[in-house]
Amino acid sequence: MKRGSYWLGFILGFLYILDSITQVSASIHEYRKEAFIRQSNAFFFHGGSEGLYASKSRDSSAAAPDDNPSKGKSSIRFENVLFVRTKESSDKQNEMQSKTGLVEAIILEVKDREKIGGAVIKSDVICCTPELSHNGSCNVGEVIIQKDPDNPEGPKRIQTFFEGTNQEAKMMAQFVEINSTGMYYLYFMYCDPQLQGTTIRGRTVWRNPGGYLPGKMVPLMTFYGVVSLAYLALGLVWFLRFVQFWKDIIQLHYHITAVIALGMCETALWYFEYANLNATGSRPMGITLWAVTISAVKKTLSRLLLLVVSMGYGVVKPTLGGVTSRVLLLGLIYFIASEALELVEHLGNINDFSGKAKIYLVLPVAFLDAWFILWIFSSLSKTLEKLQMRRSMAKLELYRKFTNSLAVFVLLSIAWIGYELYFNASDPLSELWQISWVIPAFWTLLAFFLLVVICVLWAPSSNPTRYAYPGEAGEDFDEEAISLASGVKVTGATDPVTGLREGLEEDKRE
């Protein structure tokens, strides 16, 4: 019964993710009849938050008549924003009154957050009260905003009133230009308790001087363009080597080729996805879905490649034996978990990824990554032991280099995870948005350099006996054969045929 409930929950969750694909948007923030949340004596709705660069100054006299007036400008544009209150609320109003309810749009830079509400007067209220109104600090029914004389453009408010007994109030189309670089937040707020139950529909369009790409993602477009070229260069070198020694190619080389090809496709698709987002403001569903899926496939195959290499596949043993099904099952589970995380993270609004949803999806991926690491190093230990027992010194040296390299990458990963946790904990409001792009970029670079190490260690060559399984290469047994041919006696050496037979028996048992 429990297992059936688990699978039902998984299917419903996956269907929810697929449904969210039809709502793909980024710098265009859509509001679909969403409710306001109460905090202190106010009701608010978070309309979006993005890093925005200051508008570029332009010489209007030099601009052509048909030139786009928004080009080079950073702005927030309100389009068809509609507030709908309940019928009970509207029936309580006087039909002859022109203003029977107020909703305010508040745009503020994160460094000005203390200027909203009664923080300056040491009060936790957000909306103006009659007592505060008597002091001339604010107007009853409005959000308290402390203006800065040195920054008149400080927190900006845009007011929209309900009229008479109308249930709907449409916000006038607004174009708010941003002239200071920073992390901006948009809140829709009202103070009247009679408006409780009011919902919001419409959208806002956020734009940077260079396009619609959010500020924290602007460097990633260039980054993925450069990395895609790096993968292309790696693929070209590998292909030339592959063709040069095609007669000595083993199965492992095909797996490495597949990972390189997926890396090229993944980074190129992310570049085009960001480029399209920058040009249109919406994420192209097709490209994003392909990029997410190929990214999940590449991550899965990369981990499986590390695992089978650590097990000595094609080097110490011709097959994985009885563990093949377990390796494939772990790969399938990891692909599903990684795909779910990538879908929710990239197929929604930039700031829509809630903390709880992220924890629920990140934890399975983190657990599976830890499982992969433990299994990889456990397999490496067994492989090194077998090679030492068989006295395959060339292969032993190869695997020692691989183990040392992998240990360095794992230590770097652990250190970076610690830094990432510190970064997120010390920057809850994304004030460091201009450098936040390095967090995902690091993992992409780490995966690339680890792949380069594997390509160098297992590069195709005219002497495949240094990494190939003896049965595949059709050669003798590494150093054992050299020792026998030269007549050098190795004390305590095991007969190569006997050692090979014992190794095969051990592989079958695994």
pLDDT in tens, 100-110: 999 999 999 98
Answer yes or no: are the C-beta atoms of 178 and 54 closer than 8 Å.
Answer: yes
Which among 369, 306, 280, 307 is positioned nearest to 333, based on CA atoms?
369
pLDDT of residue 348: 57
CA pair distance 380, 388, nearest whole angstrom: 12
CA pair distance 210, 212, nearest whole angstrom: 7
pLDDT of residue 480: 36
Under DSSP, is residue 56 helix (H, G, I), strand (E, B) or coil? coil
Which among 212, 85, 75 is positioned nearest to 160, based on CA atoms?
85
Give the contacts of 354 (CB within 8 A, at least 6 positions apart): none
Under DSSP, is residue 77 helix (H, G, I), strand (E, B) or coil? strand
pLDDT of residue 461: 78
Residue numbers in the chain where pLDDT is lower than 50: 1-26, 60-66, 351-354, 472-500, 502, 504, 506, 508-509
Count CB neighbours of 459 within 10 A.
15
Tokens of 39: 């905090």
Chain length of the chain? 510
Give the number of C-alpha atoms closer than 13 A to the C-alpha of residue 116, restricted to the C-beta side. Answer: 24
- For 21, 25, 77, 303, the CA distances from 356, given in Å and listed in that order, are 20, 21, 30, 27
Give the contacts of 424 (CB within 8 A, at least 6 positions apart): none
Tokens of 30: 């859509």
What is the maximal distance between C-alpha atoms in the chain?
A: 112
CA pair distance 4, 450, nearest whole angstrom: 40
Q: Burial letters for 13-33: b for 16+ Cβ neighbours within 10 Å, e otherwise?
A: eeeebeeeeeebbbbbbbbee
CA pair distance 187, 46, nearest whole angstrom: 5
Crossing angle of helices 251-280 and 285-310, rounded to 10°: 150
Q: Please give the DSSP secondary-structure letter assigned to residue 148.
A: B
Answer yes or no: are the C-beta atoms of 93 and 192 closer than 8 Å.
Answer: no
Which among 267, 283, 280 is positioned nearest to 225, based on CA atoms?
267
CA pair distance 205, 408, nearest whole angstrom: 44
pTM of the model as a whole: 0.77
**AA identity, residue 202:** G
CA pair distance 357, 410, nearest whole angstrom: 27
Give the contacts of 490 (CB within 8 A, at least 6 positions apart): 391, 483
CA pair distance 180, 359, nearest whole angstrom: 34
- The residue behind tokens 């991550």 is 299
Give the contacts of 353 (CB within 8 A, at least 6 positions apart): 344, 345
Beta bridge partners of 174: 78
- For 116, 155, 179, 381, 431, the CA distances from 109, given in Å and listed in that order, are 11, 7, 11, 54, 10
pLDDT of residue 359: 67
- The residue behind tokens 């879905």 is 289
pLDDT of residue 70: 63
Beta bridge partners of 107: 156, 186
